[in-house]
Structure formats: C-alpha cells, structure tokens
Amino acid sequence: MNWTRLFADCMIDLLENNVSVYLSKDEFIQMNEEGDVCRGLWDDGEKKNLKLYCATAGDEKIWVPIFVHEYCHFLQWKDRCPEWKGAQKYTEEDDRKILRNEKMHPVRLRNSIKRIRDLEEDCEKRTVQVLKKYGANKAFIEGYIQRANTYLYFYTYLKFYREWYPKDKVVTKMKQITRVAPKTFQKSYDVIPSKMLKEYMKVYPPKVEIK
C-alpha cells in the first residue's frame, strides 16, 4: 500500500481544484459550535471557499483513509452525484434537531437521516475503490468496510440516540460493535442487525424507545 503516493495524488487534485486543506496534528476536528468532534470534515457550504479538514494524529493507516474519505466527499461535490444533491436538502436545523433531541416530525427525521446516510454510503464505497486502486489488500478492505458499516448504521441508530458520539466513544473505534459488523456493504441500512443493535444500545443508551 503506497500511502505517500495516495495522499500526494489526492492533495494535488484538491489543490488544483482550489480546495483549502487543513491538516491538524490533533486527534479530532471540531465539527460545529456545540463542540461535537470528528476525525475529518468536508465543507462545500460556501461555493467559492471549499475546505477539507483532517486530524492526522496516529498511524498513517488510520488517518490517511479518513483523509481519503473526505477527498471522496470532494469527488461527490465535483460530480454533483445524486446523493450529494439529495443531501443539499439536509439543513442546519435538521442537524441541530436530530443531534440535540429536539421535537421533529417522524417523516422529516427519517428522511433527513436517510439523505445524509446515503451521502456517506456513496462516499464509503468511493473510498474503498480508491484504497483498492492504491494496493489495499483484502484484509484491510474488509476491516475498513466493517468500520464503515458501523458508521453507516450509527446514522440509522441516531433515530433513537439523538446525539453525536462523544470523543471517548468514537463509533468506528468501538470494537464490540465493529467485530459484529458485516464485511461487505449492505443493500439497505434501514434496519440495524440485531447483534449490532444490542452493542449500540450498550455503548450509546437510547433516548427514544426502540420499536
């Protein structure tokens, strides 16, 4: 796996398209004013001020795939893919209501989560294709997809948890969840597998009754 070439090629493409890239030596990036954190972030909210953020703490095998994931969000924006267009209907108000457990119409809640989850699903699939292109082996890809599925199903679980994960419980680091996650992408992420759901409930106690 040529991590240096992968990172360099992505950087060149981003800079040639006037994307501002911010790399932090910290473990997390602050994603909103409320203090929620993540490892990487793509921001195309301002059409003429595109930004990509990535935390680079740790081994390159950890943070470079995160960087590639954010790079693939850039590709979605560049391609204007259907998932990107659908996510444009996801508003800051939707985000606040979901993550702060504010009152929200059930249909709006379901549709909002699906839009952003569809965007992430397409991005994860793009990321896997890029990783394969640069020589990632089968074991690495299967492990990545398990973590990706843990992340994607977390969006489904947001219907019940209604909060972003805390920095000490990053969802893709919760081995008790990732180890029971499928090693292939799924046709649908609407229903969380029972084994995974049990582990989500232990790590992130639901605020809304699960029916």
pTM: 0.95
Contacts for 146 with CB less than 8 Å, ≥ 6 apart: 178, 179, 181, 182, 183
Q: What percent of the chain has pLDDT over 70?
A: 100
Domain spans of the chain, in order of start: 60-203
pLDDT in tens, 142-151: 999 999 999 9
Q: Residue 89 has what pLDDT? A: 94
- Check the CA dihedral 132-137-148-43 and report its sign: negative
pLDDT of 211 higher than 80? no
pLDDT score recorded for residue 47: 78
pLDDT attached to residue 34: 79
For residue 1, give the nearest of 182, 173, 150, 144 by alpha carbon.
144
φ/ψ of residue 29, rounded to 5 = -115, 135
Mean confidence (pLDDT) of the chain: 95
Q: Quick one: tokens of 90?
A: 């996801």
Q: Which residue has the higher pLDDT, 193 or 2?
A: 193
Q: Tell me what the mean pLDDT of segment 150-170 comes to.
A: 96
Res. 72 pLDDT band, cuts 50 70 90:
very high
pLDDT tens digits, 94-141: 999 999 999 999 999 999 999 999 999 999 999 999 999 999 999 999
Which residues are paired to 38 by β-bridges?
29
Mean pLDDT of 77-86: 97
